Amino acid sequence: MLKVLLAVLTLASLVGVLLVPSAQGEEGAQAPSLETWMFDVRIVRVDAPTPEAVETAAPWEAAGSCTTDASWPELLTQLKARGRTQVLLDQRITSLVGMEALASQSSDRLIEQMQSRDLSNERWSSAPIITGGTAKLRVSDPDVLTYQLEARWEIRSTADNVRPLMRTSKWAGTFRAIPNGGTLALTYREQIQTWGDARVGTEIHAFLTMRRLPLR
Protein backbone atom coordinates (compact mmCIF):
# COMPACT_ATOMS: atom_id res chain seq x y z
CA MET A 1 0.00 0.00 0.00
CA LEU A 2 2.87 2.34 0.88
CA LYS A 3 4.49 1.68 -2.50
CA VAL A 4 1.25 2.52 -4.30
CA LEU A 5 0.93 5.78 -2.34
CA LEU A 6 4.52 6.77 -3.16
CA ALA A 7 3.93 6.05 -6.83
CA VAL A 8 0.82 8.26 -6.87
CA LEU A 9 2.65 11.12 -5.16
CA THR A 10 5.59 10.85 -7.58
CA LEU A 11 3.26 10.92 -10.57
CA ALA A 12 1.44 13.99 -9.24
CA SER A 13 4.75 15.80 -8.73
CA LEU A 14 5.81 15.08 -12.30
CA VAL A 15 2.52 16.37 -13.68
CA GLY A 16 2.90 19.57 -11.65
CA VAL A 17 6.40 20.17 -12.98
CA LEU A 18 5.19 19.80 -16.55
CA LEU A 19 2.19 22.10 -16.14
CA VAL A 20 3.86 24.99 -14.30
CA PRO A 21 6.10 26.20 -17.17
CA SER A 22 3.18 25.99 -19.57
CA ALA A 23 0.99 28.09 -17.30
CA GLN A 24 3.79 30.60 -16.78
CA GLY A 25 4.33 30.82 -20.51
CA GLU A 26 0.67 31.64 -21.09
CA GLU A 27 0.63 34.28 -18.36
CA GLY A 28 3.94 35.80 -19.48
CA ALA A 29 3.04 35.98 -23.16
CA GLN A 30 2.76 39.58 -24.33
CA ALA A 31 0.06 40.73 -26.69
CA PRO A 32 1.31 42.23 -29.95
CA SER A 33 1.80 45.99 -29.85
CA LEU A 34 -1.03 48.07 -31.30
CA GLU A 35 1.26 51.04 -31.90
CA THR A 36 0.84 52.20 -35.49
CA TRP A 37 3.23 53.97 -37.84
CA MET A 38 2.31 55.89 -40.97
CA PHE A 39 4.70 56.09 -43.93
CA ASP A 40 4.73 58.37 -46.96
CA VAL A 41 7.06 56.74 -49.50
CA ARG A 42 8.19 58.67 -52.56
CA ILE A 43 10.76 57.72 -55.18
CA VAL A 44 11.55 60.36 -57.80
CA ARG A 45 13.73 60.22 -60.90
CA VAL A 46 15.53 63.39 -61.98
CA ASP A 47 17.02 63.73 -65.46
CA ALA A 48 19.83 66.25 -65.06
CA PRO A 49 20.40 68.84 -67.83
CA THR A 50 24.04 67.68 -68.15
CA PRO A 51 25.95 64.62 -66.87
CA GLU A 52 28.09 66.91 -64.72
CA ALA A 53 25.06 68.36 -62.92
CA VAL A 54 24.65 65.22 -60.80
CA GLU A 55 28.01 65.95 -59.17
CA THR A 56 26.41 68.75 -57.13
CA ALA A 57 24.86 67.77 -53.80
CA ALA A 58 21.18 68.40 -53.15
CA PRO A 59 20.34 71.03 -50.49
CA TRP A 60 19.52 68.48 -47.77
CA GLU A 61 22.75 66.57 -48.51
CA ALA A 62 24.86 69.72 -48.43
CA ALA A 63 23.67 70.21 -44.85
CA GLY A 64 25.55 67.00 -43.94
CA SER A 65 22.51 64.96 -42.97
CA CYS A 66 20.45 62.09 -44.38
CA THR A 67 17.24 63.48 -42.85
CA THR A 68 15.27 66.63 -43.56
CA ASP A 69 12.36 68.53 -42.06
CA ALA A 70 11.37 70.05 -45.41
CA SER A 71 7.82 69.38 -46.58
CA TRP A 72 7.10 67.33 -49.69
CA PRO A 73 6.17 70.43 -51.80
CA GLU A 74 9.47 72.02 -50.78
CA LEU A 75 11.44 68.89 -51.67
CA LEU A 76 9.68 68.60 -55.02
CA THR A 77 10.52 72.23 -55.82
CA GLN A 78 14.18 71.54 -55.03
CA LEU A 79 14.14 68.45 -57.25
CA LYS A 80 12.61 70.32 -60.18
CA ALA A 81 15.42 72.86 -59.90
CA ARG A 82 17.84 69.98 -60.57
CA GLY A 83 16.20 68.70 -63.76
CA ARG A 84 13.13 67.03 -65.23
CA THR A 85 11.31 64.94 -62.61
CA GLN A 86 9.34 61.70 -62.83
CA VAL A 87 7.59 60.18 -59.80
CA LEU A 88 8.19 56.43 -59.75
CA LEU A 89 6.35 55.77 -56.48
CA ASP A 90 4.18 57.87 -54.15
CA GLN A 91 2.15 55.93 -51.59
CA ARG A 92 0.92 56.30 -48.01
CA ILE A 93 0.72 53.12 -45.91
CA THR A 94 0.45 52.15 -42.24
CA SER A 95 1.81 49.28 -40.19
CA LEU A 96 1.74 48.01 -36.61
CA VAL A 97 5.04 47.75 -34.79
CA GLY A 98 6.82 44.56 -35.82
CA MET A 99 4.75 44.08 -38.98
CA GLU A 100 6.02 44.64 -42.52
CA ALA A 101 4.51 47.32 -44.72
CA LEU A 102 4.73 47.07 -48.50
CA ALA A 103 4.32 49.84 -51.07
CA SER A 104 4.75 49.02 -54.74
CA GLN A 105 3.98 50.54 -58.11
CA SER A 106 4.90 49.29 -61.56
CA SER A 107 4.05 50.07 -65.16
CA ASP A 108 4.93 48.21 -68.29
CA ARG A 109 4.86 48.91 -71.98
CA LEU A 110 5.62 46.70 -74.93
CA ILE A 111 8.40 47.39 -77.39
CA GLU A 112 9.40 45.64 -80.57
CA GLN A 113 12.91 44.27 -80.49
CA MET A 114 14.90 42.29 -83.03
CA GLN A 115 15.55 38.65 -82.19
CA SER A 116 17.70 37.67 -85.15
CA ARG A 117 18.72 38.73 -88.63
CA ASP A 118 20.07 36.96 -91.68
CA LEU A 119 20.69 37.96 -95.28
CA SER A 120 17.02 37.95 -96.21
CA ASN A 121 14.99 38.18 -92.98
CA GLU A 122 14.63 40.05 -89.71
CA ARG A 123 12.73 38.49 -86.80
CA TRP A 124 11.06 40.80 -84.30
CA SER A 125 9.07 40.14 -81.15
CA SER A 126 7.34 42.10 -78.42
CA ALA A 127 9.11 42.54 -75.07
CA PRO A 128 7.84 44.21 -71.87
CA ILE A 129 9.62 47.15 -70.26
CA ILE A 130 8.75 47.35 -66.54
CA THR A 131 9.47 50.44 -64.45
CA GLY A 132 8.38 51.64 -61.01
CA GLY A 133 9.34 51.38 -57.36
CA THR A 134 8.95 49.11 -54.33
CA ALA A 135 9.42 49.69 -50.60
CA LYS A 136 9.36 47.21 -47.70
CA LEU A 137 9.34 48.78 -44.24
CA ARG A 138 9.27 47.54 -40.67
CA VAL A 139 9.54 49.34 -37.32
CA SER A 140 10.55 47.18 -34.36
CA ASP A 141 11.15 48.00 -30.71
CA PRO A 142 12.81 50.19 -29.67
CA ASP A 143 11.93 52.35 -32.73
CA VAL A 144 14.33 50.75 -35.21
CA LEU A 145 13.39 51.11 -38.88
CA THR A 146 14.41 48.40 -41.35
CA TYR A 147 13.91 49.31 -45.01
CA GLN A 148 14.34 47.83 -48.48
CA LEU A 149 13.66 50.07 -51.46
CA GLU A 150 14.05 49.54 -55.18
CA ALA A 151 13.64 51.83 -58.19
CA ARG A 152 13.43 50.66 -61.81
CA TRP A 153 13.57 53.03 -64.78
CA GLU A 154 14.58 53.21 -68.43
CA ILE A 155 16.71 55.47 -70.58
CA ARG A 156 15.18 55.64 -74.03
CA SER A 157 17.04 56.02 -77.28
CA THR A 158 16.12 58.71 -79.77
CA ALA A 159 16.52 56.15 -82.57
CA ASP A 160 13.65 53.91 -83.62
CA ASN A 161 13.64 50.20 -82.70
CA VAL A 162 16.51 50.52 -80.21
CA ARG A 163 15.92 48.81 -76.89
CA PRO A 164 16.07 51.21 -73.89
CA LEU A 165 18.73 50.86 -71.23
CA MET A 166 17.13 49.38 -68.11
CA ARG A 167 18.44 50.67 -64.79
CA THR A 168 17.87 49.56 -61.17
CA SER A 169 18.87 51.01 -57.81
CA LYS A 170 18.34 49.33 -54.42
CA TRP A 171 18.68 50.44 -50.81
CA ALA A 172 18.62 48.10 -47.79
CA GLY A 173 19.46 49.27 -44.31
CA THR A 174 18.38 50.30 -40.83
CA PHE A 175 17.81 53.66 -39.21
CA ARG A 176 16.18 55.12 -36.14
CA ALA A 177 12.49 55.64 -36.69
CA ILE A 178 11.48 59.32 -36.83
CA PRO A 179 8.21 59.66 -34.89
CA ASN A 180 7.48 63.35 -35.55
CA GLY A 181 7.06 63.35 -39.32
CA GLY A 182 10.71 63.80 -40.28
CA THR A 183 11.97 62.43 -43.59
CA LEU A 184 14.80 60.03 -44.37
CA ALA A 185 16.35 60.94 -47.74
CA LEU A 186 18.28 58.37 -49.82
CA THR A 187 19.97 59.17 -53.13
CA TYR A 188 21.45 57.40 -56.16
CA ARG A 189 23.30 59.15 -58.98
CA GLU A 190 24.81 57.99 -62.23
CA GLN A 191 26.67 59.29 -65.24
CA ILE A 192 26.07 56.60 -67.82
CA GLN A 193 27.31 56.23 -71.37
CA THR A 194 24.35 55.51 -73.60
CA TRP A 195 24.84 55.18 -77.37
CA GLY A 196 28.07 56.15 -79.04
CA ASP A 197 29.87 58.75 -76.93
CA ALA A 198 26.68 60.23 -75.49
CA ARG A 199 26.28 60.40 -71.71
CA VAL A 200 23.36 61.24 -69.47
CA GLY A 201 23.13 62.19 -65.79
CA THR A 202 20.34 60.65 -63.73
CA GLU A 203 19.43 60.92 -60.06
CA ILE A 204 17.05 58.76 -58.04
CA HIS A 205 15.82 60.21 -54.74
CA ALA A 206 13.89 58.14 -52.20
CA PHE A 207 12.04 59.94 -49.40
CA LEU A 208 10.57 58.12 -46.43
CA THR A 209 8.46 60.28 -44.12
CA MET A 210 7.48 58.58 -40.84
CA ARG A 211 4.98 59.44 -38.13
CA ARG A 212 3.88 57.56 -35.04
CA LEU A 213 0.08 57.67 -34.84
CA PRO A 214 -1.63 58.20 -31.47
CA LEU A 215 -3.42 55.24 -29.92
CA ARG A 216 -7.21 55.51 -30.17
Closest C-alpha to 43, from 113, 132, 136, 158 = 132
Cis peptide before 142 (omega within 30 of 0): yes
Q: Tell me: the pLDDT tens digits for 56-85? A: 999 888 778 899 999 999 999 999 999 999
Q: Which residues on adjacent β-strands are paired with residue 180?
A: 211
Q: How many CA atoms lie within 13 A of 207 on its CB side?
A: 26
Q: What is the pTM of this model?
A: 0.78
Q: Which pLDDT score is estimated for 47?
A: 96
Q: Which pLDDT score is estimated for 95?
A: 95
Q: Tell me: the pLDDT tens digits for 134-185? A: 999 999 988 999 999 999 999 988 777 777 889 999 999 999 999 899 999 9
Q: Which pLDDT score is estimated for 164?
A: 85
Pairing of the two strands 199-213 and 84-96: unpaired
